[in-house]
Amino acid sequence: MTRMAKRMTGVQQSAIRRMTARCEAVGAINLGQGLCRVDPPRSLLSLAADRFTGLDHSYSYAQGDAGFLDAIAAKLARDNGIIADAANQIVTTIGATGAFTATLAALFDPGDGILLIEPHYGYHLSAIKLFELIPEPVRLTGPSFLLDRDALYAAVTERSRAIVVCTPANPSGRRFDRTELGYIAELARDRDLIVITDEIYEYIYYTRAPHLSPATIDGLAERTVTISGLSKSYSVPGWRLGYAMAPAELLAPIRAAADILMVCAPTPLQQLGRHALGLPDSYYHELRATYDAKRRRIADAFASAGLAPNEPEGAYYLLIDCSALGARTGWEAADYLLDHVGIGAVPGEAFYLSDPGKPFVRACFSVTEKTIDDAVRLLEKVSL
């Protein structure tokens, strides 16, 4: 007889992947899933083609390929202001999601509370539920999605053990500033919380200040697990390369959990990843310029159609208020856009534990120029 584990109760395929399947079924334009359809760096692909047969195709050390670990440590020092011991403070994983799940498995027990800033990334919530932890929402209000100190403290309970910070955030595009991260540091010290940061979009931003890693805020270095990876910045999500960095005493159990859950990240791709992490500043400037142009085009198209996109500071998503459609929920808005416009977007409810209060949808602009052109053309036909 088929039997499902209790931990799987309420865990379903994400709304993001369900929307991708619906788009494919009807031939619609998929602005739902962040498939990252921007070309990877040509130098990285050329290197892969030239050297792949000569790379190591066996297991790496469980903590990662030594050269890749050194490259991550150098990148953290150069771009994040974080000094990390490659041998004892970093573990490579199968994607940033692998780093997140290993962290949850290693540091928390069923029933522990995890503060989740919402709108949140859906896979964070799914992983929290899978490990039988309790999500504790900290609601941000659009369109600015600023973090309020009082709301942060109000969300804490006796069971709270950690807070998840995604910056730049998926789906809102928020880049939390020094003041907001100071609130988090204060709370973490007061309540002895671990801070788990997801910084996978760290190089993709549109405001002037460089990326600010929470671990660099006073009082957070000793209690922060910093997570990132190669998927977004180098347009190689299929390579599944991520990592976690933390103080050695936190990293040791995370490394052990990662070994059990995934053995190691793909060895030859780790060795190629060294090159990606050494790309010049000009690469990142061009990457941001490319995404900024896409962001402006697709946001203008939604606004011209009578809808209300937010103005993300980073990442590559728009949260769009579809109240003008007469929709009561994001599900209704997403159905309308798919059925009547031919565009797939993700209902806002996928990023909230309870009613978002507005009929939001999320649209991804990490797509080809042709897809942008097609989406703009379809939105020009919308008449509200």
Q: How confident is the model at residue 13 (pLDDT cuts 50, 70, 90)?
A: low
pLDDT tens by residue, 306-345:
999 999 999 999 999 999 999 999 999 999 999 999 999 9
| DSSP strand pairing (194-198 vs 224-229) | parallel
pTM of full prediction above 0.85: yes
Q: How far apart are CA 236 and CA 247, in angstroms?
A: 28
Residues in the chain: 384
What tokens were used for 87?
């041998």
Say yes or no: 333 and 256 in one domain: no
Q: How confident is the model at residue 8 (pLDDT cuts 50, 70, 90)?
A: confident
What tokens were used for 268?
């030859």
Q: Does any domain span residue 184? A: yes
Question: Residue 358: which domain range?
Answer: 6-40+282-379
Say yes or no: 75 and 166 in one domain: yes
pLDDT tens by residue, 106-121:
999 999 999 999 999 9
Say yes or no: 213 and 90 in one domain: yes
Say which residue, 357 or 20, is predicted with more confidence. Answer: 357
Domain endpoint, select from 258, 277, 296:
277
For residue 185, what is the DSSP state?
H
Say which CATH number the domain at 249 has: 3.40.640.10
Number of domain units in the chain: 2
Q: Does any domain span residue 46? A: no
Domain endpoint, select from 242, 277, 312:
277
pLDDT recorded at residue 46: 96
Radius of gyration over every alpha carbon of the chain, rounded to an integer in angstroms: 20
E-assigned strand segments in 155-299? 160-166, 194-198, 224-229, 241-245
pLDDT tens by residue, 20-73:
888 888 788 899 887 788 999 999 999 999 999 999 999 999 999 999 999 999
Q: How far apart are CA 235 and CA 233, in angstroms?
A: 6
pLDDT recorded at residue 306: 96
Bridge partner residues of 114 (DSSP): 135, 162
Contact 221, 215 (CB under 8 A): yes
Q: How far apart are CA 212 and CA 167, in angstroms?
A: 8
Q: Does any domain span residue 242? A: yes
Say yes or no: 335 and 270 in one domain: no
pLDDT recorded at residue 15: 76
pLDDT recorded at residue 197: 98
For residue 59, the SS3 value is: coil
Contact 92, 62 (CB under 8 A): no
Q: How far apart are CA 360 and CA 344, in angstroms?
A: 13
Q: Is the pLDDT of residue 11 over 80?
A: no
Q: How confident is the model at residue 246 (pLDDT cuts 50, 70, 90)?
A: very high
Say which CATH number the domain at 323 has: 3.90.1150.10
